[in-house]
Structure 1
Amino acid sequence: MTFSITRHLPEDATADALCTDVRSGLTANPKTLPPKWFYDAHGSDLFEQITRLPNYYATRAEEEVLAGRAGDIAEATGARTLIELGSGSSTKTRHLLGALSGLHTYIPVDVSESALRESGGTLAHEQPGLTIYAQIADFTNRLILPPTPGPRLVALLGSTIGNLLPAERLAFYASVRTLLQPGDALLLGVDLVKDADVLVAAYADPAVTGAFNKNVLSVVNRELGADFDLDAFEHVAAWDAGHEWIEMRLRSRTAQTVKIPALDMVVDFAAGEDLRTEISAKFRLPDLASELRAAGMDLSRWFTTPAQQVGLALATPAHSGIPSAPECGLF
């Protein structure tokens, strides 16, 4: 059994990043905070509760695809190394780990050391023949990975790609492309464009999702000594038809002033002013293929549910690797 953790983030990287994001986001117009700050321990627990809400289809639908098509993904890639970006608890990844019969190495990448230790330790006992090199890193930055046997499969699941703005997505694809050799592949979980009422309902729950949204304010209060009054903000989910993404916002119920002592900042909110905390882009297959092509990758396989709620895109370096046959991946 081989299980190790390598840190590629300085010990104070999280604190520095939070300061930078709060300062830049709350002085922008409109005001924003990145969704990564939802996920302290409490926020992660709230998100797990969200995945069980009746209207929140995305997690269940993606797991349905993974459970049903992991064998096809394994056959198509023949991966000996699986690299999972934003691995978290590695729960859904077990479908791939079980299907990849020739797998030698698993590399979970996450900013949370505690999540990596817990999930990596569990997997190390469950699969004693698997080599696990956990990486404490931010996958939106350039990754430094150990030499491992190919072919390699890089996975970003959970529709996480939708949280990136278009320019950020292109930068991410370009970064991943530098990691891929002929025969390697990227497995990308995406949420698909559908009826706006269905999309808004998935994010509009005022209790659990509302608490999850407001948790970003709790994090800023705790870490930076801010005095956000959570009750002074309303959870809002809105569909932006022009960009084809959901926006989660916190709307100020009244005119108010928030102090952030650690940054020597005072932030004014007008009554009804929105603070954007997340975008969640939804995709159409031709547009996704175009984005990947711009980064030098071909969409080689496409797996989805019968209801076509979400999908898994398998992309390979252009003109190499797995032959393109998207239609073969349909449920």
Structure 2
Amino acid sequence: MTANQGIALVERDEDGVDKAFRSDVLAGLQQTQKAIPARWLYDDAGSQLFEDITSLEEYYPTRAETQILEARKDEFRRLIGADRAVVEFGSGSSVKTPLLLEAIAPAAYVPLDISGDFLRQSSAALAKKFPGLPVLPVEADFMKQVTLPAEVEEMRKLGFFPGSTIGNMVARTAVDLLRSMRATLGGTEGERPLLLIGMDLVKDVAVLEAAYDDARGVTAEFNLNLVRRINRELDGTIPVDDFVHRAIWNDDFSRIEMHLEAKCDMDFEVCEQRFSMAAGETIHTENSHKFSPRSANLLLLAGGWTPMARWTDDKDRFSVILAEASEHRNAP
């Protein structure tokens, strides 16, 4: 069975430019502390670079989460049950997603991702690996409520959000996303959806900084790819070679911050708008918040999800949490 070609819910202009991307970039470059949301790091090239990052020695989260998914298959099967539609927020990993699908025998798999080509490639690979499983990709911005394919409307649902992507968001945005996931997954009072979510844990700063600034420079290329994407898609003239990647631990906010730092004074254009940066000024491109068990639970509860079970890897570096939608959709 091959993957369904899927549906596209990304709004583009007459030139094929993602309107939200353009809006976020222009707004972000106008701020005193320039900042662009981390989701725009993931075009096709960025998504592939991130896949490369996950195999790096310094980048522990993927190995730690994979260990949990391999070790806890029986518990997932017991607590989640079979015949659910798995809705993955972000295109499926070639490693982690099959482990979950093998464990729980779902009725359908619906990956949601904003990067259309990467979404279709990963969906086709999973459809080939699971020939009896309906694979229904949806090209969409999963930060908002998404209308799922009609084929899964009546099915019980499990949301899957691995990789601690929730940590890329400030608390307010993370809560909004968790609530929109609840709305996307639907359900009834008698049959509420479940969510299986990865959250990275607080640990030694040196380990954290190395994970986001590897010796081979792959993470730096991932970060710089955002500038290349702006130049390509938004008619930008940003001098890519005049930026350097920085990964900094911010203890006050319990997060790693990724920045692109200007090596010299510069002027450039994006969408025919002019911008300037001074040497040492940065564009803040990503946060990666790290959680304690308590802060993870509080975030889920605020987003309308009640934690049911929690697992960590053998070094307590990473956690996977199973949660059930709260009784009332808008309840904290």
TM-score (normalised: structure 1): 0.89
* Unaligned residue ranges in structure 1 (runs of 5+): 321-331
Match of 2:243 among 226, 233, 237: 233
Kindly provide the amino acid, as one letter, of the partner of residue 271 in structure 1. A
Aligned to 2:224: 214
Aligned to 1:93: 97
> Among the aligned pairs, what percent are the same residue?
37
Q: Distance in 1 between matches of 2:225 and 2:137?
A: 27
Match of 1:164 among 156, 165, 169: 169
Q: Distance in 1 between matches of 2:2 and 2:235?
A: 41
Counting matched residue pairs gives: 317
Do the aligned residues in 2 keep the contact of 1:245 with 1:282 (CA within 8 Å)? Answer: yes
Aligned to 1:250: 260
Aligned to 1:327: none
Do the aligned residues in 2 keep the contact of 1:81 with 1:104 (CA within 8 Å)? Answer: yes
* TM superposition shift of 1:195: 1.2
Aligned to 2:200: 191
Q: Distance in 1 between matches of 2:275 and 2:79?
A: 52
Q: Distance in 2 between matches of 1:134 and 1:264?
A: 35
* TM superposition shift of 1:319: 5.9
Q: Distance in 2 between matches of 1:282 and 1:180?
A: 28
TM-score (normalised: structure 2): 0.89
Matched position secondary structure for 1:290: helix
RMSD, aligned CA: 2.0
Any runs of at least 4 consecutive aligned residues in structure 1 with deviations exceeding 4 A, and if so which? Answer: none
Do the aligned residues in 2 keep the contact of 1:2 with 1:130 (CA within 8 Å)? Answer: no
Q: Does 1:308 align with 2:308?
A: no
* Unaligned residue ranges in structure 2 (runs of 5+): none
Worse overlay, 137-146 or 173-182? 173-182
Residues 298/200 of structure 1: CA separation in 2 closer, same or farther (3 Å cut)? same
Cα deviation code 1:229-264 (max 9, x no counterpart): 22211211101111101100011112211222xx22
Q: Distance in 2 between matches of 1:203 and 1:135?
A: 29
Q: Distance in 2 between matches of 1:63 and 1:141?
A: 27
Q: Distance in 2 between matches of 1:137 and 1:304?
A: 30
Q: Distance in 2 between matches of 1:317 and 1:211?
A: 38
Cα deviation code 1:111-143 (max 9, x no counterpart): 122223222223333323212221111110111
Q: Distance in 2 between matches of 1:35 and 1:88?
A: 18
Q: Does 1:117 align with 2:126?
A: no
Q: Distance in 1 between matches of 2:146 and 2:311?
A: 27
Matches within 5 A, 1:1-331: 1=1, 3-4=3-4, 5-12=6-13, 14-79=17-82, 80-101=84-105, 103-145=106-148, 146=150, 147-178=152-183, 179-181=185-187, 182-205=191-214, 207-260=217-270, 263-318=271-326
Cα deviation code 1:187-225 (max 9, x no counterpart): 111111111111111112362211211111111111122
Residues 223/309 of structure 1: CA separation in 2 closer, same or farther (3 Å cut)? same
